Homo-oligomer: A and B are copies of this chain.
Amino acid sequence: MWKQNRVTKRLNIRYPVIQAGMAGGATPPELVAAVSEAGGLGTLGAGYLSPEGIRGAVREIRSRTSKPFAVNLLVTEAVKPSPKEVRRSQELLDPYREELGLKRQEPANFAESFEEQIQVLMEERVPVFSFTFDIPEERWLKRFREMGTTLIGTATTVREAQLLEKAGVDLVVAQGAEAGGHRGTFAGPSDRAMVGTLALVPQVADQVKVPVIAAGGVMDGRGLAAALALGAEGVQLGTAFLTCEESGAHPVHQEKILSGTEESTVVTRAFSGKPARGIRNRLIQDLSSRERTLPPYPVQNALTRDIRKAAALNRDPELMSLWAGQGLRLSRRGTAEDLIRKVVGEAEEVLRRLTRDTSRYF
C-alpha cells in the first residue's frame, strides 16, 4: 500500500498508474476494468468510437468494476478538406488498396462528432474524462466540473501544461517524446514539442501547481520510480498495456512490440495526418517523402481506415498502424494486474535500495 498523493486521492485509486486511453480498439472494457480493479486507473480510448459505442463500452466497464475509470477523447473539430488534398492523398493510397483488393471509397465522415461523444460522457456520468489533441471549449469543461468529473489534459510542453491549468483541469499528463501513438501537441509546432520525458517532467512540474502525470517510455517500476523522482505524482503507460492479456491490440501488433527495440519506432503522419510514434513499416517508409503533402488529422486518418482494417485482417504488419513507444525491449506478457503489481513492486524495491545506498550517514 502506498501513501496517497494528490493523483491517487483525486482519482480515488490505490496506485498512481494510469493505463493510457489508446483509440482504435486496443482498450476494450475488459482491459479498462482489469486495470481499475488492480488499483490503477483504466481508460477507455474512445476517440474513434461512435457515441453509442462509447455508451455501450462504459456500461460494460461498469458491469465489470465499481472502481473509477476514465474515458479518453481526441478533441477534434469538424473539418471540410479541399477535394484536391483528399484526391492527392487517395492517389498515394490507391496502390495499397489494389494490393489488398479494395476499392477506393470516399469516407462518409472523417471523424465521430466530438460534441456527441462528450454528451454521452455526461449522460453516463463518467468519473474521469481525459483528453488530448487540444482543450475542449470552456462550456464543456464547466459542465464537467459541475458534475464532479475529474479532468485530465495532455501537454507536450510547459506552455501547454500552463494552458491546461488555466483551463481548470485537475491533472496534467506530461507526454514526453518517447511516447507511442499520437503526439498531444496543440500549441505550437509539433517538432519543437519533442521533449524527452526525463527533461519534460521536472520542467512542467516546476511551472504548474496542478499534479503532473508522466508519460512516454515508462514500462516498468524503474520508469515509475524515475517519474516520481522527476516530480510527477503518477505515470501513464500505453505500450506496456498493449501486450497484456486483456488488451485489444492486434496479435501482430503485440508480436511487433514484444520483438521490438528502442530503435524500432518513428514519428509519422502517414496514417492519420497527425504526428504519432509507431513501429516502422512499409507504408510509413513509402510515404515518408510525402509527409508534408498529406492532409491533416482527421482527414488522413479517415482515408487510411480501409487500408488499416484490411491489413489487420490479412495480418500484414507492413500496412497496419503499429503505435508504440521507445521502451519496447521492456515489454512483457501477463495480465493487466500482473503488470501493475510488477511496476509498483519494482518501484518500491528500486527506491528502497537507492535510499539505502545514498544515505549511509543519515
Contact = CB atoms under 8 A, between A and B. Distances in A.
B220 A198 contact: no
Contact of A178 (B198, B222, B229): B198
A329 B5 CA distance: 25
Q: How many copies of this chain does the complex contain?
A: 2
Interface stretch (A18-26, A109-117, A347-355): A347-355
A273 interface: no
A223 B195 contact: no
A101 interface: no
A83 B265 CA distance: 37
Nearest to A350: B229
Interface string A320-332: 0000011101100
A199 B262 contact: yes
Interface stretch (A53-61, A165-173, A202-210, A297-305): A202-210
B202 A176 contact: no
Contacts of A230: 222-223, 226
A361 B218 CA distance: 25
Nearest to A214: B198
Contacts of A195: 178, 262-263, 326
User: Chain A interface residue count: which class?
Assistant: 35 or more
B192 A327 contact: no
A357 interface: yes
Given A157-B263, A177-B196, 14 more contacts: A2-B360, A176-B196, A177-B177, A197-B199, A198-B223, A198-B227, A199-B325, A202-B222, A202-B330, A203-B329, A228-B358, A229-B347, A348-B358, A351-B358
30 contacts: A1-B361, A2-B360, A158-B263, A159-B263, A176-B196, A178-B196, A178-B198, A188-B263, A193-B263, A195-B262, A197-B199, A198-B227, A199-B217, A199-B262, A199-B326, A202-B220, A202-B223, A202-B330, A203-B261, A206-B330, A222-B230, A222-B231, A225-B229, A228-B354, A229-B350, A229-B354, A351-B359, A352-B359, A354-B355, A355-B355
